[in-house]
Structure 1
Amino acid sequence: TKKAKYKRVKIPKGVRKNQALQVRNEGYLRPDGTRGKLVFKVNELKHALFEREGDNLRTTVNISLKDALLGFENKKLFTHLDGRKVAVTQEPGYTIRPNSQRRLKGEGMPVYGSQTNAFGDMIIHFQVEW
């Protein structure tokens, strides 16, 4: 009979959907008495605010026509996946066109295996409400 066994596994930062991870000595028992590797694939759950595209995160920010034309400061706040508050601002004098995008460098997902703690970008899609 097979028994369920639970194992706590640390998932490295930046791992992508369907990426295979291995844990040594946690697989089936071999005839020589040693254990093989436990191999599993990572699944990602959908998030209400962010969509992952590789190492980048994509989100939509709704803004009023007034804000698109006149700018705004710290009005558009959202909570990042790591719990930080991120503010999106727009200086007066610069118009945000409907369906335009802005890239926030380094605000995306951690890059898996990066030796420099690199991050992807956050891509913000502006939806202007008329």
Structure 2
Amino acid sequence: MSLTHLTLLYGAFALLSIVANLGLQKLALLAYEGLFAVPLSVVIGTGGGLVLKFLLDKRWIFRYRHRDLSHGVRSLLLYTLMGVATTVVFWGCEFGAWALWHSEHARFAGGAFGLTLGYIVKYRLDRRFVFA
């Protein structure tokens, strides 16, 4: 796969994951407005976006096959671990924008920015440590 094609495909998958993440956050907020609604929605969105991105990256970006179920679980755990650092960046941007501007639109914009930044770093981590 050419570098251009890889970049476009990875970008498209990152965009799909961002939409899934923020969409799940919005749905969670519509379903629950109680105590800790925003942090809970962020966790739900992050989990959904992570699983979607893992499946897309594994199949289409890295063309990776698992030997068995335990190998697949190990890969998902490593993928998740690589995502922890990038999630800190994402959440920092999202909650930082929310703290500065006190609006849902700002929070989602901060989240989208943080996710974009995180995916750039995450590709390199995944290539080296998860799908090597």
> TM-score interval w.r.t. the shorter chain?
under 0.3
Q: Which has the higher helix share?
A: 2
Q: By percentage of residues, which structure has more strand?
A: 1
Larger Cα Rg: Structure 1 or Structure 2? 1
The normalised TM-score by structure 1 is 0.27
